[in-house]
Structure 1
Amino acid sequence: MSAVPAGPPGSGTVPINPSQRSPLIISVANFLKDNKILKQRTGLLNNTEEAEFFRFKRLQRALLSDEYKKQQKNPKYELIPIKDEEEANKIFLQLLSSQMIIPIDKLHYSEIKQVKGWKPNRSKPTLRPSKKASFEPNGYYVWNYNKPNPFILLYSFLFIAGVFAIILFPLWPMFMRIGVWYLSMGLLCLIGLFFLIAIIRLIIFAITYLVLPQAFWLYPNLFEDCSVIESFKPLYAWDQPKSSKKKSKKSKGGLSESSDSSTSATATGSDSTGSGSTTKRKVVLEEVDE
């Protein structure tokens, strides 16, 4: 992003001048990157790239939080001491100047439509880089920095070791080469056995489908979305023909209709008995001597 000249005094506009990232600022960025106080959201930068953004006031709260002060006392984190908002704003300026955070504008629906080729996204707001930053509490900023992976060195070492192990395979001891050969043959046999079971179950299903009223499935859950053990349970199953499925649906419908008719009959019977009882009632008046 190109540098932007500072605004007039008192305007709150901050110049953005890219510079080298210092280790202390990187430590602060590592603290802020996944901090819950920022309440970061995911948006679409330039309507294409996903990026996490936050408000300026949230960054201030995170830098002035008790969690930051607690970690700052530990020399392992190498955090800069921050006492008030003025010092927090200085850290904010250093994050901006090193381009670890970038000011953005969150566009509305009408603004997105004005840009050719951009489409509004209902779940993620559209973000556009801004040329100036300010100390406004509700100003939006997006991260231009990713925390380093602590296991990157380990992964690199394992990758290089694996490459050298494959290259130097002819120099391996004989027992190791024999072990690798047996292991590869075992894996190939397992894969071949799986395909053989799939072919056999298909042949059995085709034959029983043509001969028997119900087709026979060997390992019916073999290709279902389940675990490896559940794929081989149960051992077999009979396929239900379509006619029986339709009959079962009809029988269920008939049962529901009969149950509805029986309930309606009982309801009418109860009403009739109730009406009969009301007709048989008689009112008897007795004179009581006072």
Structure 2
Amino acid sequence: MSTIEQQAKAPQDIRNVVSFLRSSKAGLKNRVGVLNGKRLDYFKGKSAIKSLLSPAYAKLKNAPKVTSESEAQALLHSVIPFAFFLRVDRGQPVGSASSPKTLQINQMQMFKAEEYYAWFYEGSQWTTYVGGVVMVAVILAGVMFPLWPPTLRLGVWYISMAVLGLIGLLFAIAIVRLIFWIITVLVASPGIWVFPRLFADVGFVRFPAARMLPRAMCSYALC
């Protein structure tokens, strides 16, 4: 019997538990291993137990209640027969020390906190499908841009010019504040940064010198 057939026999409450563990809400720490040449996510048992004891799981509807580690372990053990995840033994890395480690299915299938378990269930795929549809739609829209109505093309042109204008304004402010800082370094060391948190507020770029501004200078630097 294939894993898909086994998973199809799982009752709804078990499927809810598995879907929770596979979601980001569980906070389950997944690692990447290699089983028969295929990369799979796997996790440690105690991490899954911790997820079932979390407040996020307590809010989950239509799922078995868990109040202790023993109950969590028993619930996770009841999931194994449906092959959403299986107990594996972890071996050596496939390449360098930082490479994924090899996995091998253990014949003794039971749930223990110190053992490792490989996922054979990918979870909900609706985000992947939606992302694929959006990507195809964007590509088609770009390819068919010459066929757009003139008003739509004109609107896109105005929007692109506005975005470019904002980017140009940002760079202009950055250049002016840099020139002002250089002048104040020569006149009143260590210098004054105008809008010292400009790049911290609008993007990922940071000027190291901005963090050197003394707190006493903030009133002059417009903090």
TM-score range, shorter chain: 0.5 to 0.7
Q: Which residue in 1 is equivalent to 2:29?
A: 42
Matched, 1:204 2:180: yes
- Structure 2 regions of 5+ residues with no counterpart? 50-60, 66-73, 203-212, 218-223
Match of 1:157 in 2: 133
Letter paired with 1:105: D
Asked if structure 2 preserves the Cα contact closer than 8 Å seen for 1:204 and 1:217, the reply is: yes
Alignment of 1:129-278 (within 5 A): 129-134=104-109, 136=110, 138=112, 140=115, 141-212=117-188, 215-223=191-199, 225=200, 227-228=201-202
User: SS in structure 2 opposite 1:103?
Assistant: strand
Cα contact 1:106–1:127 (8 A) shared by 2: yes
Structure 1 128/188 Cα, relative in aligned 2: closer, same or farther at 3 Å?
same
Distance 1:46 1:21, change over 3 A: closer
Equivalents in 1 of 2:168, 2:27: separation in Å?
A: 50
Q: Which amino acid aligns with 2:171?
A: F
Q: Does 1:102 align with 2:76?
A: no
State the secondary structure of the residue aligned to 1:154. Answer: helix
TM-score by length of 2: 0.55
Runs of 4+, deviation exceeding 4 Å: 26-29, 43-50, 66-70, 115-119
> Which segment drifts farther, 177-186 or 45-54?
45-54
Q: 1:173 to 1:116 in 2, by over 3 A?
A: closer
Cα displacement (A) at 1:169: 0.8
Contact between 1:101 and 1:142, CA under 8 Å: does it hold in 2?
A: yes
Counterpart residue number, 1:24: 8
TM-score (norm 1): 0.44
Task: Extract unaligned runs of 5+ from structure 1.
Answer: 1-17, 59-65, 71-84, 120-125, 229-238, 246-290
**Is contact 2:45–2:111 with CA below 8 Å preserved after alignment?**
no
Distance in 2, Cα, partners of 1:190 & 1:24: 53
Distance 1:192 1:180 in 2: 18
Going from structure 1 to structure 2, the CA distance change for 1:53 and 1:27 (only over 3 Å counts) comes to: farther
Task: Give secondary structure in 2 for the equivalent of 1:198.
Answer: helix
CA shift, 1:148, in A, is 2.4
Q: Secondary structure at the match of 1:179?
A: helix
Judged with a 3 Å threshold, the aligned counterparts in structure 2 of structure 1 residues 202 and 130 are, in CA distance, closer, same or farther, namely: same
Among all aligned residue pairs of Structure 1 and Structure 2, give the percentage whose two residues are the same amino acid.
Answer: 25
**Which letter maps to 2:16?**
F
Rounded to whole Å, the distance in 2 between the matches of 1:214 and 1:27 is 68
Distance 1:204 1:220 in 2: 12
